Structure 1
Amino acid sequence: MNIYIVRKIAFFIFVLFSSSSFSSSDSLFSAGVPSLAPMLKNVTPAVVNIYTINEAQEKNNYIDDPFLRKFFNIPGQPKSKKRNRSGLGSGVIIDSKKGFIITNNHVIAKAQDIKVRLHDGREFKASLIGADPASDIAVIKITPKNLTSLKFANSEKLLVGDFVVAIGNPFGIGQTVTSGIVSALGRSGLGIEAYENFIQTDASINPGNSGGALVNLKGELVGINTAIIGSRGSSGSVGIGLAIPVNMALDVTQQLLKYGEVKRGYLGVSAQDLTGELSKAFGINTIRGSIITRVQNNSPAEKAGIKVGDVVTKINNEPIDNTAAMRNKIGLLKVNSTISMQINRKGKIINTNVKILERKISKQSGIKINTRLQGMVFSEIKENMPEYGKVNGIKIVKIKKNSKAYSVGIRTNDIILSINNIPVQKIEDLEIVSGKNDSEIVVHVQRGKRTAFILLQ
């Protein structure tokens, strides 16, 4: 029997026999038949459709070609046309009294105009409160008039196999509801965001669902729908949807509401996953943890006595399974907070406290950029470059060999297509995309006909 049908039958049975665990107001029965409709009646008004307008420059590759201009005696300099480009996504009302809506950063990035359409058809113009490209979370605000907000679940208590419902605006066709289960937890290392701790679900998520709600059967928000993983050339759901856990989203949201940006903790180390071979070499009887490969001078880590070769096994008494887990844990801590770290140093357990500080944002060429982009000289793609008219991005014209970018494989003449999944074309885009935070960034790089996502830690 088709596994999809089996799962739906299992879902029906679950709804049938679990209804007694819910209050009458949250009943999963409608007219005596198992149904999600009663729950959705209270949830769907809190999920909104988001429409954005971006201004994009459009060039005519033939008219802009300097040889053709000279051949046809076309006077003057080529001018690019500016056209409005629309985008779409979803959002979740988290504060009905103040009109705050949480969505994905990539939904509203570089938008000049943001509009929100409610479930009842009302439309509002929204303003941007703050955005965090590293976690792909943004907060916008509309006029609070008879709004409905969602209750929050504790995503730490979510289990693989729990039933969930995804609500959003796929392909802009209007609000749509799909159901499924939690397929996996703690997905990371996918190269989608700088900070990854995704909930994986088989509830159908498609373009336009980004920023929408993932809720449990009580109608509580458990995650923010963010991305899909599909086969090459596929633009729709193939059963692997990813959502940001609500606990993580709310931590980021609190800082956006308070500061307009996220002030991330800075430890000052480079690290890699602990393997079985490394574990034996270092005389450690565990393969879980993150091994320190570099400690920056005068950093919080150095002041706390952390050394190269130390294996971080716990932070604030919570196990650290790998480097991604450590990066997420540190990056989501509040600045100036003190944490406890358990370290395995050649088989000896050491406990130490570290004060997490904020890394200073650097300035280069008159704009603020992420420090991980230092050591490179950038240029917009110009007429005299072979990439002109063929690719949109920012060209690296020079790179220092002692830079972070060089150490991870970025080279001269590479083209940066996007940072944290946001396209870049102008030098100013570096500040818009990465200048407001100094956390890890995911850079999409093209070299010749090949492209790759590279994480700058």
Structure 2
Amino acid sequence: MAEAQTLSARSMRAMWMGVLAVALLLAQAISARALPESFADLAEKISPAVVNITTSTTVTAGTGPAPIVPEGSPFEDFFREFQDRNGGGGNGGEARPRRSQALGSGFVISEDGYIVTNNHVIENADEIQIEFFDGNLIDAELVGTDPKTDIALLKVTADQPLPFVSFGDSDTARVGDWVVAMGNPLGQGFSVSAGIVSARNRALSGTYDDYIQTDAAINRGNSGGPLFNTNGEVIGVNTAILSPNGGSIGIGFSMASNVVKRVVDQLQQFGETRRGWLGVRIQDVTPDMAEAMGLAEAAGAMVTDVPEGPAMEAGMEAGDVITVFDGVEVEDTRALVRQVGNTEVGKTVRVVVLRNGETETLKVTLGRRETAEDSAVPAAQIQDQADPQILDLMGMSLSELTPELREQLELDQDIDGLVVTDVDEMAEAFEKGVRAGDLITDAGQQKISTVAELQEQITVAEEAGRRSILLLIRRQGDPRFVALPLEDK
């Protein structure tokens, strides 16, 4: 009996040792997968498709700031001679043109010679020269640019098919994934750096920004170069760095490939971008705005203005909250702008809006943003103006519009509302950015032009149990919604 128990214990111990061994092997395999032994094979595979870009631009010498030298200084003659020798035009000499060069990076996306880089790499360039990995030099032609995403498409003609790389799906990149950046940092030639995805969906300053943040070393000259995943697919275009000294400190930004692919496809097809245009001004829905409107959550995009365009033709109104666009739920204004821009011009889409607590579905045929940006504002009709009334409310002094105030604020005749003449700096209105000179055109999502109309909407909000009221405020033509507490009235 004792011997049987001993054998059983030994068997159990052997089994657990086996399980432990398997677990250790799996852990080693996972560790090896997470931390590659080398990127050499990947670099060797993708390097031939990465290029250095040199641009030449004709500039006029002497157009920049001249050195400040006190009159009568012993250096005065020296700087005059220096400017004359270099075409600076000192003492009336003519400024002579000279050539200025800049360096950047790029990558080939097709065997017939299409090359992607940053717009700022080739902007204003007279000549663009591509240096390939094997040292071959070829002049490039500019196909098209998109300053909004800082992307440019070039084309070269080669004697044989070129090595190229493909775009990957940037949406599948996760924070912590390994990435490899390639390019021409500081003009030193081909260089590889590795790091991880530090963050996703970063926005810098553009309307269509969708940057991947990485700690892979990116320096000046890397602009326009590719950011690869470990499969050798391009998931970003290296565009910018955050640095106090101009060098890499581990915070670099690459425009996501899913944005770049759409831009490149349009540049190839049209030589320019063609983005969808809804024709509204919008802002995010804040929690206090959601409470003031009785919304369940602070989501969607609040319409602040509907100028002449597709949305107006479809019946959209200021105060509508866009919740669904073309079958996709709208999280915020940034998401809506990107989705509209990525939608085909001329497509008719269903847009779901919340209006006065009810859901409505509108059919909107999208226009083209690039065309709409240059459209003019139609003339306004003249209306009579009643005698003004003045009211102190919610920390603000409000006045009905007078001809003098309309002229002072440069308001069109078809715009009505209450003018903010003063704001108490201790009131919440001041904290939320309301200032003297602002014009309140809507209250509780209803048009107002008189003090009585505002007081009526406040009563409606109180009877509905609201703690705040939503106001539409315009400043120099730009509208935005602000929710102010009723207890401050």
Does structure 2 conserve the Cα–Cα contact (< 8 Å) formed by 1:197 and 1:328? Answer: no
Does structure 2 conserve the Cα–Cα contact (< 8 Å) formed by 1:312 and 1:343? Answer: yes
Closer, same or farther in 2 for the Cα pair 1:360/1:122, shift >3 Å? closer
- What amino acid is aligned across from residue 100 of structure 2 in structure 1? R
Q: Does residue 243 of structure 1 match 2:254? A: yes
> 2:430 maps to which residue?
none
* Structure 1 CA distance for aligned equivalents of residues 359 and 344 of structure 2: 26
Does structure 2 conserve the Cα–Cα contact (< 8 Å) formed by 1:92 and 1:212? Answer: yes
> 1:410 maps to which residue?
none
Q: Once the two structures are superposed, what CA deviation does each residue of 1:194-231 show, in whole Å capped at 9, x if it has no partner?
A: 42111111212111111111111111111111111223
> 2:114 maps to which residue?
100
> 2:131 maps to which residue?
117
Q: Once the two structures are superposed, what CA deviation does each residue of 1:316-340 show, in whole Å capped at 9, x if it has no partner?
A: 3333332222222222322112233
Does structure 1 conserve the Cα–Cα contact (< 8 Å) formed by 2:104 and 2:221? Answer: yes
Does structure 1 conserve the Cα–Cα contact (< 8 Å) formed by 2:59 and 2:100? Answer: yes
Report which structure shows greater RCO (CA 8 Å, sep ≥6): 1
Q: Once the two structures are superposed, what CA deviation does each residue of 1:60-107 show, in whole Å capped at 9, x if it has no partner?
A: 666999x99xxx9x99966433221111111111001x1000111111
- What CA RMSD, in Å, does the superposition of the two structures yield over aligned residues? 3.2
In the TM superposition, residue 352 of structure 1 has moved relative to its aligned partner by 2.9
Q: Does residue 142 of structure 1 match 2:159? A: no
In the TM superposition, residue 14 of structure 1 has moved relative to its aligned partner by 5.7
Q: 1:10-25 residue pairs with structure 2 within 5 A?
A: 16-17=32-33
Tell me which moved more, 43-52 or 78-87: 78-87
SS of the residue 1:54 aligns to? strand
Does structure 2 conserve the Cα–Cα contact (< 8 Å) formed by 1:181 and 1:201? Answer: yes
Percentage of identical aligned residues: 36
* Alignment counterpart, residue 132 of structure 1, candidates 118, 135, 146: 146
Closer, same or farther in 2 for the Cα pair 1:259/1:296, shift >3 Å? same
SS of the residue 1:95 aligns to? coil
In the TM superposition, residue 269 of structure 1 has moved relative to its aligned partner by 0.8
Q: 1:216-227 residue pairs with structure 2 within 5 A?
A: 216-227=229-240
Q: 1:13-162 residue pairs with structure 2 within 5 A?
A: 16-17=32-33, 34-59=37-62, 79-96=94-111, 98-144=112-158, 145-162=160-177
* Structure 2 CA distance for aligned equivalents of residues 43 and 373 of structure 1: 48
Q: Does residue 183 of structure 1 match 2:198? A: yes
SS of the residue 1:327 aligns to? helix
Q: Which entry has the higher C-alpha Rg, 1 or 2?
A: 2
* Structure 1 CA distance for aligned equivalents of residues 128 and 217 of structure 2: 25
Does structure 2 conserve the Cα–Cα contact (< 8 Å) formed by 1:285 and 1:347? Answer: no
* Structure 2 CA distance for aligned equivalents of residues 244 and 63 of structure 1: 39
* Alignment counterpart, residue 288 of structure 2, candidates 258, 261, 277: 277
* Structure 1 CA distance for aligned equivalents of residues 152 and 67 of structure 2: 39
* Alignment counterpart, residue 354 of structure 1, candidates 364, 367, 373: 364
* Structure 2 CA distance for aligned equivalents of residues 373 and 80 of structure 1: 40
In the TM superposition, residue 152 of structure 1 has moved relative to its aligned partner by 2.2
* Structure 2 CA distance for aligned equivalents of residues 80 and 139 of structure 1: 34
Does structure 1 conserve the Cα–Cα contact (< 8 Å) formed by 2:214 and 2:253? Answer: yes
* Structure 2 CA distance for aligned equivalents of residues 44 and 360 of structure 1: 36
SS of the residue 1:17 aligns to? helix
TM, length-normalised to structure 1: 0.67
Q: Per residue, is there more strand in 1 or in 2? A: 1
Q: 1:396-435 residue pairs with structure 2 within 5 A?
A: none
Does structure 2 conserve the Cα–Cα contact (< 8 Å) formed by 1:344 and 1:350? Answer: yes
Closer, same or farther in 2 for the Cα pair 1:337/1:77, shift >3 Å? farther
* Structure 2 CA distance for aligned equivalents of residues 159 and 48 of structure 1: 27
Moved over 4 A (4+): 12-15, 60-65, 74-78, 359-362, 400-403
Does structure 1 conserve the Cα–Cα contact (< 8 Å) formed by 2:167 and 2:261? Answer: no
Q: Once the two structures are superposed, what CA deviation does each residue of 1:347-380 show, in whole Å capped at 9, x if it has no partner?
A: 4333333211125749xxxxxxx63999xxxxxx
* Alignment counterpart, residue 211 of structure 1, candidates 224, 228, 253: 224
Q: 1:201-350 residue pairs with structure 2 within 5 A?
A: 201-231=214-244, 234-297=245-308, 299-350=309-360
Closer, same or farther in 2 for the Cα pair 1:313/1:238, shift >3 Å? farther
SS of the residue 2:166 aligns to? coil
- What amino acid is aligned across from residue 250 of structure 1 in structure 2? K
Does structure 2 conserve the Cα–Cα contact (< 8 Å) formed by 1:283 and 1:346? Answer: no
* Structure 2 CA distance for aligned equivalents of residues 164 and 402 of structure 1: 53
Does structure 1 conserve the Cα–Cα contact (< 8 Å) formed by 2:207 and 2:334? Answer: no
Does structure 1 conserve the Cα–Cα contact (< 8 Å) formed by 2:285 and 2:301? Answer: yes
Closer, same or farther in 2 for the Cα pair 1:84/1:75, shift >3 Å? closer
Q: Per residue, is there more helix in 1 or in 2? A: 2
Does structure 1 conserve the Cα–Cα contact (< 8 Å) formed by 2:283 and 2:301? Answer: yes
In the TM superposition, residue 13 of structure 1 has moved relative to its aligned partner by 7.9
Tell me which moved more, 198-207 or 312-321: 312-321
Does structure 2 conserve the Cα–Cα contact (< 8 Å) formed by 1:284 and 1:344? Answer: no
5+ residue gaps, structure 2: 1-27, 73-79, 81-88, 378-408, 413-477, 479-489
Closer, same or farther in 2 for the Cα pair 1:210/1:360, shift >3 Å? closer
- What amino acid is aligned across from residue 107 of structure 1 in structure 2? V
* Structure 2 CA distance for aligned equivalents of residues 122 and 59 of structure 1: 35
* Structure 1 CA distance for aligned equivalents of residues 66 and 173 of structure 2: 55
In the TM superposition, residue 315 of structure 1 has moved relative to its aligned partner by 2.4
SS of the residue 2:140 aligns to? strand
